[in-house]
Structure 1
Amino acid sequence: MLFMATIMLIRPPFSLIMLVLELPGQDPELVKKIGSATALVVRAAGIKPLTMLFHHVLRSAEIQDGVDVCYESYSEDPEIVKQMTDIILRLQGEIPADSRKGVPFVGGKDKVAACAKHFVGDSGTIKGINENDTVIDKHGLLNIHMPGYYHSIIKGVSTVMVSYSSLNGTKMHANHKLIAQFLKNTLKFRGFVISDWQGINKLTHLLLVMVPFNHTEFIGILTNHVNNKLVPMSRIDDAVGRIL
């Protein structure tokens, strides 16, 4: 069994954690134990992290900068990827029985916020090329690539990270239909929708934008867009409401 939790970025007060699991067979209880252990160890480090969960359903060998990143997929079987979402219940804690669907839940000082990524279909790109286009019909999207996200949301996942890749010719960071309408409204996700690293150039209905450089410039530009009514206040209200 391979179990690896790699700290990708530590910059107080937040850290990004990449969690990669390779399990023999299907053992949901073992998955939950690993989730509990990971949450405890990460919090013991004194950081407030987002723990990344890969919901890729591998349909093509993905190549990124010449490196095969198939390890970012739990399986080529959507059912196994769906089962792996049980780890959320121990990373974040068991959600209360009266919890509303889609509302994030992190239960206690020994738990961490989980992030489901990369939304959606990034492991089905043409020729497996990173950031390439995934061409698929609605039935295939909902039955192959979407189940992991749906089951993460009903288990209270805190954040969803959007993919660099495209879906049927539209960059996911700019996919209003899937992010604003489907993820937020149809699936009723009430947590944070965040960009991937430097995803600002592909921006749409995201709450947190990963701007590692020139963040003050970004704030000024966004403020100017709001003042000039290029960005509606409803977008700001949606983002602030999710934080509150």
Structure 2
Amino acid sequence: MRGRRLRTSLTVTGLAAAALLTAGFTPAVTEQPGYRDPAAPVPERVQDLMSRMSLDDKLGQMVQSERVAAGPQEAAQYRLGSVLSGGGSAPEPNTAEAWADMYDEYQRAALATPLGIPLLYGVDAVHGHNNVHGATIYPHNIGLGATADPDLVRRIGAATAEEVAATGIDWDFAPCLCVARDDRWGRTYESFGETPQQASAMSSAVTGLQGERLGGSPSSVLATAKHYVGDG
């Protein structure tokens, strides 16, 4: 979980300051900028950071790139806010250790920029950490929906989060809460079932991935309740 440690406010603050110094940047003032103060209210930190950002900084933070389109240095150069490993996008070799090392490279590059804004790294871990060789793979949503067991889905989400967190990743693009109604559609397997009530019940996967509070444990990863508008 080496990459995961970069997510905490205090550690990010310390590493960002160190990265600025080692990269040759000289702070304009001796005191710590307000946005780096983990004890300050979040709105104040946001306002302070926004006041220091250029238009290019702001545009970059609104962009997400696929991993193959932007390496760590490109992501830092353009101040990208997030990077995604979509289906089949994996480092070489495709091992948990290589994933963690890749994540750390991206994060070190992001923290070495003048403002030191960490990036978010996302992955499509939709039925287990399925992009990683050797990860535990679970039935897809159509099979889990057939169990009619929301607690089982929650526990699978928690188990998936442990393996995602172990590779350093912050953000999982799951669960898919679409309501598929036409079996001829090629992605029906991504749906828990054909009723909104069933999809709602299986949103327990969100709690499994994030825990009762996002960031409340080392294995907590950001979930995404996706595809429920106009999908299926």
**TM norm structure 1:** 0.38
Question: Rg: which structure is higher?
Answer: 2
Query: When you count strand as a share of all residues, which structure comes out higher?
Result: 1
Between the two structures, name the one with larger relative contact order (CA 8 Å, sep ≥ 6).
Answer: 2
Q: Which structure shows the bigger proportion of residues in helix conformation?
A: 2
